[in-house]
Amino acid sequence: MLSTTSPHPKGYNGCPECGGSKSFNSPQCLKCAMAERRRTATSAFKICSQCGGDPQPISVYSKNSQRAGGIEGICFDCRKKNRTKYREKNNARAKTYYASTRQAQADRNRTHRLKRFGVSPDWYSETLNSQNGRCAICHALPLPTGKLFPIDHNHACCPDKSVCERCRRGILCARCNWALGVIENKSLLDAALLYLRRFPLIK
């Protein structure tokens, strides 16, 4: 128990190095503690502030420019244990949060894509249903994730990101949509044919 005659405020006592005031939960005053941290950070070994024990090489500590000496106060093993404890404690809450975040992001992406092509959800559903719910070329089914198939359009009409009703065509899977873009690019298609002619045809 601290003496009532102590010259320091309640909850403080003297720093063992300089005699200055220090907090009750620190063995030194702030100035000496910072100096000690700098000395420890520049040395080859450091004691973990969480597990204590023998000094460990500074290679087992993360870099942190916000701390004195630019090195984290706890070692890799303690940081790993802290992360494991946090995940075990908040696993269910994190899964619920990330699931709702993914769904919200998927809804925003869906709305943005339909808006870019100037179509409504009803138009997309009707067009896909007219194709028996499949890609118009390879007849592949949509992914179970619910991600939209690309809406094909004529790039000669609208080469930029905007799409009008005149150039909008059907609904394709990502692979067929990409392949169709290559086929419609005559220079790229000619280059691909020249490349294939360099090799013998295998039957």
Select, from the ranges 32-46, 57-71, 132-146, the one with the highest average predicted confidence (pLDDT). Answer: 132-146
Q: What residues have CB less than 8 Å from 36, skipping those under 6 apart?
A: 28
- Residue 4 and residue 19 in contact, taking contact as beta carbons nearer than 8 Å: no
Tokens found for residue 52 = 């204590």
Helices (H) and strands (E) in the chain, counts: 5, 8
Residues 150-180: pLDDT tens digits? 888 887 777 666 677 778 888 899 899 888 8
Q: pTM for the whole thing?
A: 0.46
Question: Distances from the Cα of 86 to the Cαs of 90, 134, 196, in angstroms?
Answer: 6, 44, 56
**Looking at residue 1, what is its pLDDT?**
38
Q: What is the band of 3 on the pLDDT scale with cuts at 50, 70, 90?
A: very low
Asked whether the predicted pLDDT for residue 2 surpasses 50, the reply is no
Among 17-26, 69-78, 140-149, the range scoring the smallest mean pLDDT is: 17-26
State the Cα angle at 169 between 160 and 158, rounded to 5°.
Answer: 15
Kindly state the greatest CA–CA separation across the chain.
101
**Looking at residue 144, what is its pLDDT?**
78
Question: Distances from the Cα of 139 to the Cαs of 144, 155, 172, 175, 183, in angstroms?
Answer: 15, 23, 9, 12, 19
Average pLDDT, the chain: 78
Separation CA 35–CA 114 (nearest Å): 60
Which is more confident, 8 or 97? 97
Question: Distances from the Cα of 180 to the Cαs of 151, 163, 173, 194, in angstroms?
Answer: 12, 17, 11, 18
Provide the 3-class DSSP secondary structure of residue 14: strand
